[in-house]
Structure 1
Amino acid sequence: MDVAPLWSRRQLCLGLAGATAAPLAVATHARPPQRYSYFSPGTGTVNLEQLSFEPTRLRSIGERLPSDFYVLTGLSRTLAKLSAGGQVQWQLDVQAGGGAHALGAFKRRLIVGFGQEILVVHHQSGRVTQRIQLPTASGEVIGFLRVQGDVLITGDSGETCTLQFYQLSLNARGDIRCSPLGRLRSKTQYPRDALFLAPDRLALADTFGHAVVLYERTDRWRERRRLYEYYPNMLDFRGDKLAVLSEHGNRLVQIDLHTGQRRTRIACPSPLFEDAGTKPQQIISEESTTITGETPPRQVCSADVSGNQTLYAANGFFDNGSSEIWVADSDNHRVAVFQNGNFMGAISGVNHPIRVIPEPVVIAG
């Protein structure tokens, strides 16, 4: 693969993870309402059968959000544009199987992975303008996709993952074309994101392997380093700092790749999650203490310290590069915005959001 020419032209700019914690003592109370999913240590995501997107339940909390935004929900397989106040501008429901995996933008078009195909969606109307078939190397469904400048990265969903790289362009009719650039065969388990740090450096969120894997390419791609994190789901890179959203670590951690120093940018307000140095094994051993009577029980961050400041199995985020971070706070069922690490506002009632993109980013592209 040769990405150096792409880098010089333009700077290179999905998912449920069941936990593997120790078995729990299960309470005998009735199950919670079936409308929303939640994460339970040792069990995984509960209420998977509930797939509805319910606009009537959307509520604005705290300050008004900075802009309209696009949100992708994993279980309902819905892509929607919501206003800053939580009103639905449009929604696209995809009934095909395979689930929703990730959301990106290219040339004012939204690109979303559903099952084994990629849909191109008009950002103003929500209309599907194009369907792109990109078979995965393993035959599995698309596990994730990322649009980084004019490069598309896809990964299949399986116990091992092959990443495939494509250059994006528009043909004479304005349709998106995907030209193969190469691939990377990884030793990872159900990864949820990948991005280029440089033309010859790549980071991959090895979600079930509890690590971020760093690769370098000379004659071929080689694994160079692993950074531990509990269920890493989505990545971002600015300067020399890699931001990692830890899905069941309920935090957004920033890692300086030169010094190795870690700091927590947003987290559930519990020392177990706030401490950026907490290793996966420690979280596994302590995450299952809850005070609720739900069956199966919730994770400690939801049951014991829930509130606006917490995260609960967040799957996606968007850093605007200044003080605001948008979070698809999946099992809190909201899209939340944090300013300088503090809760600013949210739209709640979004059933299991997994990706969010503010509208100005799409329009600017």
Structure 2
Amino acid sequence: MSRRETFYDKGGEQRLRTNRYLMAVLATNRFRTVVTVLIILTAACLAIYNIDPVRHYVARTVKHGAICFLQNNAIIKPRRAHYTPDKGTVDIVYCAPINPPAFDGAKMDHGIFVLSDFGHQVQRLNQLGQVVWTQNLHTPRGLDSTEKHLYVGDRKELLILDVDTGEILKRYRYSNYITALKAYRDRLFIAFDDGQVGSLIGYQIDDKMNNVIFRLPMRLASARGIDVSNNMLVIADTFHHKIVKIRLDSNVVSSTKSYYPNSVQIWKDSLLISEEHLNMVSKFSSHSLTRTGAMAGCFDPKNLDSKIEKVVLDDIYRSGTSCNAQHLGSKLYSPNDAIYADGSLYVADTDNHRIVVLKNGIKHSVISGFNNPVNIRLVK
């Protein structure tokens, strides 16, 4: 072999080693780059996921979307949320039912608005239970209506809808979750929830909805019901297990114990209270706040949370309002809302996933097929 050929071979080997080295370096750098990009993307995804609305959206679409699809296409049996004393609310599925509500019974005296939180929608139904319109939402809670507008709480947003079309006219965003609403004259009272505590604020109804004209001088715990009449503000302070009354003209506050009160309606000299886990709509005196009767449903002591059972049991047994025999045919399961009007009691029978209308304690009509109806209002 010539010297030139020998030199050429050595040069080729050197270039080959150099190329291999460069390829290894490039491969290593490429690997590091890929790893770095993956780390950045993962961190970005986690940061975005930790934004509350995004996390909720992912959970609802990914975790519950497949179950909802299978349920709505009759591939699996529908699963609906319900309460158990030992585990709380179980079998939650965020899913808008594909079929319209089913109506059974006599024509209602009023059309109704129904808000379903796990069904993430609000609907207007006519007097025969037929859907007039549906507006899909996030996870709504809190509902009230006037002749022209429907006020809806949807997590941290206040939505104002047209009552005739369901169109969202305006949106207002607040810092905390909305749990209850009450429109009264030129004010809108909003109960907010911030984890374990919350507050209630009265706003001037205007284009900005940020002019505070009332602030409750006490803390609440996920208050789900508000009503106002003749300068008397009454609150269902749900997780404090209290009904709170305050005079707006004097700020005098009084309260009484209740068991998961979810709604309140001032009716004549009484307060109608949906006591969710008593499975009853109860009646209290609006003056003394004493328990005076059961409007609907009967409670079973087995449904009570043992930690606070003593708080309400003595009061219920002493007042003799644990049940009314005529209501045995209208057993309720975690009612979240109730409205009395023109001789009819409209009940959001939440864990039975239906609306029940009672006249003189007897079932008049039933609308079923909702997914966790928590608020109702009558069409005015």
* TM-score, structure 1 normalization: 0.71
Task: Tell me the amino acid that sits aligned with residue 62 of structure 1.
Answer: G
Find the aligned partners of 1:330 and 1:100 in 2 and give their Cα distance.
Answer: 14
Find the aligned partners of 2:283 and 2:295 in 1 and give their Cα distance.
Answer: 10
Task: Tell me the amino acid that sits aligned with residue 238 of structure 2.
Answer: T
Aligned counterpart, 1:63: 106
Aligned counterpart, 1:183: 215
Gaps of 5+ in 1: 1-31, 170-174, 274-278, 286-300
Deviation at 1:247, TM superposition (A): 1.0
Find the aligned partners of 1:55 and 1:163 in 2 and give their Cα distance.
Answer: 36
Structure 2 counterpart of 1:152, from 188, 206, 226: 188
Find the aligned partners of 2:240 and 2:208 in 1 and give their Cα distance.
Answer: 34
Higher strand share: 1
1:356 correspondence with 2:356: no
1:39 correspondence with 2:109: no
Partners of 1:210 and 1:280 within 8 A in 2? no
* Fraction of identical pairs, as percent: 25
Partners of 2:272 and 2:338 within 8 A in 1? no
Gaps of 5+ in 2: 1-75, 314-322
Aligned counterpart, 1:213: 244
1:242 correspondence with 2:271: yes
Partners of 1:251 and 1:265 within 8 A in 2? yes
Structure 1 counterpart of 2:332, from 307, 311, 333: 311
Find the aligned partners of 1:257 and 1:358 in 2 and give their Cα distance.
Answer: 22
1:114 correspondence with 2:154: yes
Find the aligned partners of 2:202 and 2:123 in 1 and give their Cα distance.
Answer: 27
Structure 2 counterpart of 1:341, from 338, 352, 361: 361
Find the aligned partners of 2:330 and 2:198 in 1 and give their Cα distance.
Answer: 34
Query: Which one has the largest radius of gyration?
Result: 2
Higher helix share: 2
C-alpha distance 157-344 of structure 1, shift in aligned 2 (>3 A):
same
SS at match of 2:278: coil
Find the aligned partners of 2:287 and 2:235 in 1 and give their Cα distance.
Answer: 18
Deviation at 1:270, TM superposition (A): 5.0
Partners of 2:255 and 2:289 within 8 A in 1? no
Partners of 1:82 and 1:89 within 8 A in 2? yes
1:262-281 Cα deviation digits (max 9, x unpaired): 333433345759xxxxx961
SS at match of 2:351: helix
C-alpha distance 218-177 of structure 1, shift in aligned 2 (>3 A):
closer
Partners of 2:281 and 2:335 within 8 A in 1? no
Find the aligned partners of 1:124 and 1:350 in 2 and give their Cα distance.
Answer: 21
1:172-219 Cα deviation digits (max 9, x unpaired): xxx6856321211423322112233442x4222111111112234567
Aligned counterpart, 2:51: none
Deviation at 1:102, TM superposition (A): 1.1
1:164 correspondence with 2:208: no
* TM-score, structure 2 normalization: 0.68
Structure 2 matches for 1:1-365, cutoff 5 A?
Answer: 33-48=77-92, 50-56=93-99, 58-95=101-138, 99-133=139-173, 135=174, 139-158=175-194, 159-169=196-206, 179-199=211-231, 201-216=232-247, 221=251, 224-270=253-299, 272=301, 281-282=309-310, 309-320=330-341, 322-359=342-379, 361=380
Partners of 2:159 and 2:171 within 8 A in 1? yes
1:23-72 Cα deviation digits (max 9, x unpaired): xxxxxxxxx95531111112111122x12222525222232333332111
Find the aligned partners of 2:331 and 2:147 in 1 and give their Cα distance.
Answer: 34
Find the aligned partners of 1:249 and 1:107 in 2 and give their Cα distance.
Answer: 33
Deviation at 1:347, TM superposition (A): 0.6
1:289-315 Cα deviation digits (max 9, x unpaired): xxxxxxxxxxxx9xxxx9850111111
Find the aligned partners of 2:299 and 2:276 in 1 and give their Cα distance.
Answer: 15
SS at match of 1:331: helix
Aligned counterpart, 2:60: none
C-alpha distance 33-326 of structure 1, shift in aligned 2 (>3 A):
same
Task: Tell me the amino acid that sits aligned with residue 268 of structure 1.
Answer: G
Q: CA RMSD in A?
A: 2.9
Find the aligned partners of 1:82 and 1:118 in 2 and give their Cα distance.
Answer: 22
1:132-158 Cα deviation digits (max 9, x unpaired): 23x2xxx32112222223321112113
Find the aligned partners of 1:104 and 1:142 in 2 and give their Cα distance.
Answer: 12
Find the aligned partners of 2:167 and 2:125 in 1 and give their Cα distance.
Answer: 15
Partners of 1:112 and 1:119 within 8 A in 2? yes
Aligned length: 288
